[in-house]
Amino acid sequence: MNLLALKCALLLWVVLLGVPCTLVAGEAEEGYKTEKDILYRDGKSPGWDQYMKERCKLDLYYPTEKKQFATVVWFHGGGLRGGNKTVPRQLKKQGLAVVAVNYRLFPNVKCPAYLEDAAAAVAWTFRNIGRYGGDPSLIFVSGHSAGGYLTSMIGLDKSYLAKHDLDANKIAGLLPYSGHTITHFTPREERGIPGEQAIIDKYAPLFHVRADAPPLVLITGGRELELLGRYEENAYLWRMMKVAKHTKCELHELDGFNHGEMAGPAHAILLKHIRRVLKERSSH
């Protein structure tokens, strides 16, 4: 059966059975491949156990007809206590790879276990994306909510990637969506600190403000619709990065979108940023 006949057959199947077209579109996707449940930690990892084996996995979605492509390492949200890896629909078929990461969760583990997992997943990407055709110098890190917190932490606090003999400054860009910039409420809860009490310690991105950090694109929903103080936290990080003489920091407030809704339009900002970086590199 040729490709046209196959598409016609699939369309007829959709009409007759009422299957959503989005499912068929995903299954019929060409030029991309997904490899699922790749372990990014192993028996040599500190603390290796069954739970680490279950959670420390990633999915790799990548173009098969392109080389030297950019890659987005994507961390899901869920308050560091829930959620699962998924490749955002808006990032598919964009000429780039997406590494969707699972990490260990509270209460099965406590801080900094999930930060260490995030760093290990980024390290895996740096060391392996070239085998799939990607460019290790074009690795961007992003995520929503708790995933945004992980993004900022491992990018600004260089100690996590240093344990893997990697320089966090090699990351092409950090693009956290609506992430805490103070200490996340879950590690605060682990220490009996109430959610309304703001803490800035070594588990806060704000603690690690520095001029030489990777480009940082901070994105939140509208300040009146976001989670408590989330826009203001990000605005403060943006301001302090400016004070520290960091020259590539942006702040975007997606007015009209709440914490959950903002991820959709934020993907457009991420893609625009990556394309701008690619254009700048090609012009040099």
Looking at residue 173, its pLDDT comes to: 98
**CB distance 242 to 213 below 8 Å:** no
List residues bridging with 97 in a β-sheet.
71
pLDDT at 21: 33
Choose the CATH number for 31-283 among 3.40.50.10490, 3.40.50.1820, 3.30.565.10, 3.40.50.970: 3.40.50.1820
**pLDDT of the residue at 283:** 86
Predicted local distance difference test score (pLDDT) of residue 10: 37
**What backbone phi and psi angles, to 5 degrees, belong to 85?**
-60, 140
Beta bridge partners of 151: none
Residuewise pLDDT in 10s, the chain (284 residues): 444 444 444 333 333 333 333 322 333 379 999 999 999 999 999 999 999 999 999 999 999 999 999 999 999 999 999 999 999 999 999 999 999 999 999 999 999 999 999 999 999 999 999 999 999 999 999 999 999 999 999 999 999 999 999 999 999 999 999 999 999 999 999 999 998 899 999 999 999 999 999 999 999 999 999 999 999 999 999 999 999 999 999 999 999 999 999 999 999 999 999 999 999 998 87
Q: CA 93, CA 66: separation in Å to the nearest integer?
A: 12
Of the candidates 142, 143, 150, the one whose C-alpha atom is nearest the C-alpha of residue 119 is 150
Task: Please give the pLDDT value at position 212.
Answer: 98
Cβ atoms of residues 56 and 101 within 8 Å: no
Find, among 40, 127, 140, the residue nearest to 98 by Cα.
140
Sequence spans of domains, the chain: 1-30, 31-283
pLDDT of residue 195: 87
**How far, in Å, CA of 95 to CA of 261, rounded?**
25
Q: How many Cβ atoms are within 10 Å of 20's Cβ, its own excluded?
A: 9
pLDDT score at 284: 74
What pLDDT is recorded for position 7?
41
With beta carbons less than 8 A apart as the criterion, state whether 143 and 151 touch.
yes
Note the pTM of the prediction, 2 decimals. Answer: 0.89
Bond prior to 46 in cis (omega within 30° of 0): no
Among 49, 61, 128, 57, smallest CA distance to 93 is for 61
- Give the model's pLDDT for residue 152: 98
Burial class (CB in 10 A: 0-12, 13-18, 19+), 284: exposed
